[in-house]
Amino acid sequence: MSIRDIPRIVNLTIFYNPSCKKSLTALSLLQGASARLANTRAAFNIEVVDYRQNPPTPDQLRLIAQYLGPPVEKMLRPDAPKASSVSQMIEEVQRDPSVLERPIIVDWLMGRAVIGRPPEKALEVVPSEET
């Protein structure tokens, strides 16, 4: 067995609200994809985080903002206070985690993230079988 044959399991994190239909749909889509890919090179695990109970840390928020790219406002719900910088966005989320847009799905290893709106966008970070 060569080092290339050793399976690498990707870990995706979904920051979600269990009371949000879009969050639940995105999670269900990820779980379905995970089951389909379980015995392939594209297998992945899902870390499910209720962002209201365990909001992303400032370092995680910085990375997510970097992975998503500008503008930073897209990380906040439309009814949230406006933020024109990553620092302002972090302050708002630390003050009130419910202002964070949801769900956010992150592949920390590959440096990718998506906001699952519509929920099907969650599948954009699912590993491909060619990976």
The predicted pLDDT at position 39 comes to 87
Residue at 131 is within a domain? no
**pLDDT for residue 91:** 97
Q: Could you tell me if residue 71 is inside a domain?
A: yes
Domain contains 5:
no
Residue 4 lies in a domain: no
| Whether residue 5 has pLDDT greater than 60 | no
pLDDT one-digit tens code per residue, 64-117: 999 999 999 999 999 999 999 999 999 999 999 999 999 999 999 999 999 999
What is the predicted pLDDT for the residue at 87? Answer: 97
Domain of residue 46, CATH code: 3.40.30.10
Residue 92 in any domain: the answer is: yes
Residue 119 lies in a domain: yes
Report if residue 85 sits inside a domain: yes
How many domains does the chain divide into? 1
State the DSSP H helix or E strand holding residue 22, giving kind and residue range, or none if neither: helix 21-36
Q: What is the pTM of this model?
A: 0.90
Instruction: Examine the pLDDT at 2 and tell me if it is beyond 90.
Output: no
Q: Are 43 and 92 in contact (CB under 8 A)?
A: no
Domain-embedded: residue 83: yes
Q: How far is 113 from 11, CA to CA, in rounded Å?
A: 12
Sign for the CA dihedral angle at 19, 22, 25, 30 comes to: negative
pLDDT tens-digit series, residues 17-66? 999 999 999 999 999 999 999 988 889 999 999 999 999 999 999 999 99
- For residue 45, what is the enclosing H or E element? strand 44-50
Domain of residue 62: give its range.
10-125
